[in-house]
């Protein structure tokens, strides 16, 4: 039930109508039932199996949180046991085959017989996101930042709330669970803002991300054929696609929640105008960045134990963050590269080199550093990533894309250097307009209309180049 599908629109309309119709005491049960109907509609019969698994997992963490208060002398063992079992669950479903493949490669390097183990495991949708939601809740209870909630019904609805369930934002109890204790009253402005957000996200996904995806898939699918211009086109295009896809999903999730009176946290803030990698990660996937900072980086020691330990903690945090994204060494390398660039920024900041770079130069460097990491994020294999990087580093090899792989769909020939550059310029212009003027529009409807208008210019240009095809959200695979 994709957010950009007709069936979801019907589902959302039915849930919202029922939500504002039924008595207050029935609204949370309605949300819980609707969320599990939404979840279990994915990939049946697997959804029918893994839906109860998430419900059982929610009850397990609900019990652990209450046990911490009942038996405070066992708080730490309960925390360790809860986190360990949750990570083992994630490891089995998401990483069992990854570890098996890695073991095979290790044995092969040593010229030893490899076991060639393979597990026929279906990865439950949203397991990585629910995993982080539950772990953060248990840690917050352990730290005393949260009290164990008294209602399992509300807690289960908080974990499974369908707007954020599949791909975030990663919502903490203080950001959503407490809202379930205060039955929201119908507010026309908030309802209208929800419609605006949903429609803006819908357009970013369907008319920008999905259109660009055709050409991104084409180029990354043939890395051995790429030249300097086409490889850079692919990287720029994928950066735009990923932002519009994920930001579009977030806006649709926020819009869906607002229609029922609930507010989900912001997840993006003009990330491609960040002046350094540290600032980028405060603007991109904000809920994940905060989670990694508060529950991994700071517990590892953060920046409190000298430069070496700070750099070590950055590498560990970003490397594990990369592995969280997917069971592939490419994602680990992507995370480690982000860690490396964060260390480079901190070193440059220490020697005050950053002061020598003008703001536009800092934005240019940061954006291209992000683009370089995305080569590993998007490439199917490590070898493909190296081929793309090799092409990107050879400015003497230029070639028109149609001479390499031809036009796979109507409009594919638009990926010339000139039109690719125009797309990047228009996209960055829209990004800049939103960054500088959205806060000057005080009324929420005007802000949302301003975002839609800015991206509408970009949409008009894209629609003159060809049609689009609906695709799954990128972050659904994580």
Tokens 């010229």 -> residue: 111
Over range 230-248, report the average pLDDT: 93
Checking if the pLDDT of 44 tops 60, the result is yes
Where does a domain end: 120, 155, 183? 183
In this prediction, residue 89 has a pLDDT band, given cuts at 50, 70 and 90, of very high
Segment (H or E) for 208: none
pLDDT in tens, 363-405: 999 999 999 999 999 999 999 999 999 999 999 888 765 555 4
Which of 185, 190, 163 has its CA nearest to residue 445?
190
Q: Do both 132 and 223 map to the same domain?
A: no
pLDDT of amino acid 408: 43
The structural domain count of the chain equals 2
Assess if residue 1 is contained within a domain: no
Which region among 197-211, 364-378, 446-460 has the lowest average model confidence (pLDDT)? 446-460
Q: What is the pTM of this model?
A: 0.86
Which region among 52-56, 195-199, 267-271 has the lowest average model confidence (pLDDT)? 195-199
pLDDT of amino acid 358: 94
Q: Do both 145 and 217 map to the same domain?
A: no
137-146, 427-436, 453-462: which is most confident: 137-146
- Sign (positive/negative) of CA torsion 397, 403, 408, 410? positive
Percentage of the chain surpassing pLDDT 70?
83
In this prediction, residue 411 has a pLDDT band, given cuts at 50, 70 and 90, of very low
Q: Do both 150 and 169 map to the same domain?
A: yes
Assess if residue 298 is contained within a domain: yes
DSSP state of 186: P
Checking if the pLDDT of 468 tops 50, the result is no
In this prediction, residue 426 has a pLDDT band, given cuts at 50, 70 and 90, of low
pLDDT of amino acid 412: 45
Where does a domain end: 183, 207, 230? 183
Radius of gyration for the alpha carbons in the chain, expressed in angstroms and rounded:
23
Q: Do both 139 and 235 map to the same domain?
A: no
Would you name the residues annotated as active-site residues? 325
Assess if residue 284 is contained within a domain: yes
Q: Do both 139 and 213 map to the same domain?
A: no
Which region among 148-152, 356-360, 461-465 has the lowest average model confidence (pLDDT)? 461-465
pLDDT of amino acid 407: 42
What is d(CA 84, CA 377) in angstroms, rounded to the nearest whole number? 27
With H, G, I as helix, E, B as strand and everything else as coil, classify residue 13. helix
Assess if residue 347 is contained within a domain: yes
Where does a domain end: 183, 208, 225? 183
What is d(CA 105, CA 119) in angstroms, rounded to the nearest whole number? 16
Q: Do both 103 and 245 map to the same domain?
A: no
Over range 436-463, report the average pLDDT: 59
- Domain of residue 354, residue span: 190-477
Cβ 235 vs Cβ 369: under 8 Å:
no
pLDDT of amino acid 409: 45
Comparison of pLDDT for 474 and 207, the residue scoring more: 207
Neighbours of 96 (CB within 10 A): 16
pLDDT of amino acid 444: 60
What is d(CA 251, CA 269) in angstroms, rounded to the nearest whole number? 12
In this prediction, residue 436 has a pLDDT band, given cuts at 50, 70 and 90, of low
Checking if the pLDDT of 81 tops 80, the result is yes
Tokens of 460: 């008009």
Assess if residue 324 is contained within a domain: yes
Percentage of the chain surpassing pLDDT 90?
59
Q: Do both 420 and 298 map to the same domain?
A: yes
Kindly list the distances between the CA atom of residue 322 and the CA atoms of 127, 158, 208, in Å, as whole numbers in the listed order. 16, 26, 26
Comparison of pLDDT for 139 and 103, the residue scoring more: 139
404 Cβ neighbours under 8 A, 6+ residues apart: 222, 225, 226, 227, 230
Over range 194-201, report the average pLDDT: 87
What is d(CA 118, CA 424) in angstroms, rounded to the nearest whole number? 42
Over range 89-95, report the average pLDDT: 92
Checking if the pLDDT of 207 tops 80, the result is no
Over range 37-62, report the average pLDDT: 88
Q: Do both 133 and 230 map to the same domain?
A: no
In this prediction, residue 3 has a pLDDT band, given cuts at 50, 70 and 90, of confident
Q: Do both 146 and 215 map to the same domain?
A: no
Q: Do both 155 and 248 map to the same domain?
A: no
Q: Do both 69 and 89 map to the same domain?
A: yes
Tokens 């975002």 -> residue: 451
Over range 283-287, report the average pLDDT: 96
Q: Do both 119 and 196 map to the same domain?
A: no
What is d(CA 466, CA 321) in angstroms, rounded to the nearest whole number? 36
Over range 213-232, report the average pLDDT: 89
Tokens 């997992």 -> residue: 57
Tokens of 266: 């912001």
Comparison of pLDDT for 429 and 16, the residue scoring more: 16
Over range 281-307, report the average pLDDT: 94
């Amino acid at each position: 039930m994709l957010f950009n599908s007709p069936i979801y629109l019907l589902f959302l309309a039915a849930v919202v109508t029922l939500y504002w119709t039924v008595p207050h005491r029935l609204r949370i049960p309605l949300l819980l039932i609707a969320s599990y109907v939404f979840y279990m509609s994915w990939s049946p019969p697997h959804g029918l199996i893994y839906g109860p698994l998430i419900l059982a997992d929610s009850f397990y963490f609900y019990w652990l949180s209450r046990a911490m208060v009942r038996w405070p002398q066992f708080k730490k063992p309960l925390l360790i046991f809860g986190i360990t079992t949750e990570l083992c669950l994630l490891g089995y479903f998401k990483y069992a085959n990854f570890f098996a493949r890695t073991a095979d490669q290790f044995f092969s390097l040593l010229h030893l017989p490899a076991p060639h183990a393979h597990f026929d495991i279906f990865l439950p949708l949203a397991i990585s996101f629910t995993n982080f939601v539950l772990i953060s809740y248990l840690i917050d209870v352990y730290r005393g930042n949260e009290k164990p909630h008294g209602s399992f019904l509300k807690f289960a609805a908080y974990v499974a709330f369908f707007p954020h369930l599949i791909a975030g934002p990663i919502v903490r109890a203080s950001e959503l669970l407490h809202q379930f204790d205060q039955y929201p009253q119908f507010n026309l402005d908030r309802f209208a803002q929800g419609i605006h957000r949903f429609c803006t996200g819908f357009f970013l996904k369907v008319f920008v991300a999905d259109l660009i995806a055709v050409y991104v898939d084409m180029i990354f699918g043939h890395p051995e054929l790429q030249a300097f211009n086409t490889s850079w086109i692919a990287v720029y295009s994928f950066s735009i696609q990923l932002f519009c896809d994920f930001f579009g999903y977030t806006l649709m999730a926020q819009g869906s929640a607002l229609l029922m009176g609930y507010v989900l946290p912001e997840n993006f803030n003009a990330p491609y105008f960040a002046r350094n990698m540290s600032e980028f990660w405060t603007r991109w996937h904000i809920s994940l960045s905060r989670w990694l900072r508060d529950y991994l980086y700071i517990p590892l020691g953060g920046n409190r134990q000298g430069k070496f330990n700070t750099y070590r903690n950055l590498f560990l945090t970003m490397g594990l963050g990369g592995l969280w994204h997917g069971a592939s060494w490419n994602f680990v390398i992507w995370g480690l590269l982000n860690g490396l660039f964060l260390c480079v920024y901190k070193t440059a900041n220490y020697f005050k080199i950053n002061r020598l770079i003008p703001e536009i130069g800092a934005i240019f460097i940061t954006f291209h550093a992000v683009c370089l990491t995305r080569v590993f994020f998007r490439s199917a294999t490590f070898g493909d990533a190296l081929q793309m990087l090799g092409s990107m580093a050879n400015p003497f090899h230029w070639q028109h894309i149609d001479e390499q792989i031809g036009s796979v769909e109507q409009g594919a020939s638009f990926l010339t250097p000139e039109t690719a550059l125009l797309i990047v310029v228009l996209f960055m212009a829209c990004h800049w307009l939103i960054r500088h003027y959205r806060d000057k529009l005080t009324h929420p409807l005007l802000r949302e209309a301003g975002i839609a208008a800015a991206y509408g210019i970009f949409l008009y240009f894209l629609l003159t180049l060809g049609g689009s095809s609906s695709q799954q959200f990128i972050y659904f695979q994580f």
